[in-house]
A and B are shown apart, each in its own frame.
Chain A
Amino acid sequence: MGLFRQYGDNQKYKSVLRNGAMTAILLFLAVLTLFPIYYMVISSFGPPNEIGAASYTLFPKYVTLDSYKFFFGFSKSSFRWIVNSMIVAGVVTLSNVVFAGMAGYAFAKVRFPGSKFLFFLLLFAMMVPYQVTQVPLYILVANVLKLTDTYTALIVPSLVTFYNVFMAKQFFSSLPTSILEAARTEGCNQFQILIKIVIPISKTILSVMAIMTFMGSWNTFFWPFLICNNEQMQTIQVGLKNFSFANTTYFSPMMAGATISALPMFILFFTLQKYFLEGVTVGAVKG
């Protein structure tokens, strides 16, 4: 007996009816939620004309890739934007998995003086609103270090996010200490334990972390927007925004650009869906 009443065999029609109604409501909401994405993709196959009367439709009469050509023809750098985003998101993801993984393990299972205090510092860092650090960070990176238009400027501030450290620590704390202790008495040092024991049994959490970090980095807009003025060094999100500035009336090419910017995420999502969905709950359990 659960939340919903179970009907006996003679009342089976009632449960069919109820489940049907529930499915209908869910499907209706699902269609509403999916609509913007559907609309984006479907419109991207329209012709790259300036918007006029009746130029958008829910069911296109014919499909053309001209809008994609238009988008890539707009700037010599459009492919470069994608490559830049790949480089930045790739490095940020790798460094987060390595450094947040190591730190999370240290805070969870390694005893060292000051570990509580240092962890508290990182928790504090998570609470600081982005608005507080953005101006000094910009002054530091752009004016003091003169790193404008470099990969370093795009990557280094996100080298390791404290949320990932926190998430890793939460997970590693749940590992049984006994196996780690056993390895310890066998003469392994902490580094060997991490490499040989902890990482092999933590592949799921590390994959979740990798995917969430990659997605965050790929979709981030403001920092690259601030720090990169040179068209060659922009990421796809910044390029996309600039494209829309220059072509406000070209509806289909804008949608083509948006689709391209979202495509890698869609591919990742449909191949690794399980990790995406898991990633949401990992940080939220036991609030």
Chain B
Amino acid sequence: MQTAKKRKRLNNDAKWGYVFVFVPIVSFIIFTLYPVVQAAIVSFQSYKPLKTEFVGFSNYSNTLKNGLFFKSIWNTAVYTAVTVPISILVAFIISILLVPFKKRSQSFFKAVFYLPGIASGVALSFVWKWIFDPLPSGLLNSVIRAFGIQNQNWLGSSQTAMLSLIIMTIFSGLGSTVIIYVAALLGIDPTYYEVANIDGATFLQRIKYVVWPMVKPTTVFLTITGVINAFQAFQTAYLMTGGGPDHATTMVGLLIFNNAFKYFNYGEACAQALLLAGIIAVFAVFQFKVMAADVEY
């Protein structure tokens, strides 16, 4: 009797369970599973609206013979390797400085650093284009002139275009990293500092031996999500430079986008996208293995 009732209850629960997850699962099938399978198929095809041909691995081999693909990977790697660590380091320092302040001041600064992140990429790209105005009267040029640095053709020169995008990215995205670090710092048990003080640790030693190890799970999280996002980033490049000059800012994501929607070479775009997914997956696993080795969750 008791078990029958319980079973009926479970059945009723199960029915509601399926009702609740129905839309996300359908959405998953149509908008993720189907496209992923389709991407794999298209990557072996020369896709045309009327006549689609099977071309074997040629989309992949073309990609791997294409110098531009490797250049775009290199650009993406540089962009990632610079923006992610610097953003994390700057945000960490800001958070350390924020900790002793009262909650009100903390919220104020958190809001300030977060603010650029709520404006759209399109709006921000407008402003930054003018900040990077190549004329001597341009904003950033006026500033660096004050330090005796000569005029730069920021977005227009292959020497400085990537640097410009990196500066813009770092300044627009500090907010969320700061907020996450502050939360992590406030979660550290003060007894650790007391113990460190009894041992006579200096401020920098407290940072190195107490704070840094304690926030390591946060740092791992921020690094991995940061790398995954940076590897896919191409909106900034698309809006600011279009990948130029001389492909100096062509990211993999942008190359794929252009192949797909500028040249309508769907097959190669899909092949490249799958290669990118593979690279990201390898990186994520590798990073997690290396960084999280001594982290306890």
A contact residues vs B (CB 8 Å cutoff): 1-5, 19, 22, 25-26, 29-30, 32-34, 36-37, 39-40, 43, 53-54, 56, 95, 99-100, 102-103, 105-107, 110-113, 115, 118, 121-122, 125, 127-140, 143, 156-157, 159-160, 162, 165, 184, 189-191, 194, 215, 218-219, 221-222, 226, 237, 240-241, 244, 251, 254-255, 257-259, 261-262, 265-266, 269, 273, 276-277, 280-281, 284-287
Contact = CB atoms under 8 A, between A and B. Distances in A.
B280 interface: yes
A280 B122 contact: no
Contact of A4 (B28, B33, B100, B107): B100
B126 A132 contact: no
Interface string B178-207: 011001010010100110010000010011
B82 interface: no
A167 to B, nearest CB: 13
A132 B98 contact: no
4 shortest A-B CB distances, which residue pairs? A287-B221, A112-B17, A106-B20, A190-B16
B122 A276 contact: no
17 contacts: A32-B171, A33-B171, A39-B131, A102-B21, A112-B18, A115-B17, A135-B39, A160-B24, A165-B24, A191-B16, A191-B19, A221-B235, A255-B126, A277-B107, A280-B180, A284-B221, A287-B217
A157 to B, nearest CB: 5
B121 A221 contact: yes
A42 to B, nearest CB: 11
Contact of A262 (B12, B28, B123, B211): B123
B123 A276 contact: no
B137 interface: yes
Contact of A3 (B96, B118, B137, B172): B96
A1 B180 contact: no
Nearest to B256: A131
Nearest to B284: A127
Interface stretch (B109-117, B149-157, B158-166): B109-117
B124 A159 contact: no
A190 B17 contact: yes
B184 to A, nearest CB: 9
A135 B231 CA distance: 18
Contacts of A240: 120, 122-123, 126
A132 B273 contact: yes
B172 to A, nearest CB: 8
Interface string B244-262: 0000000011001100110
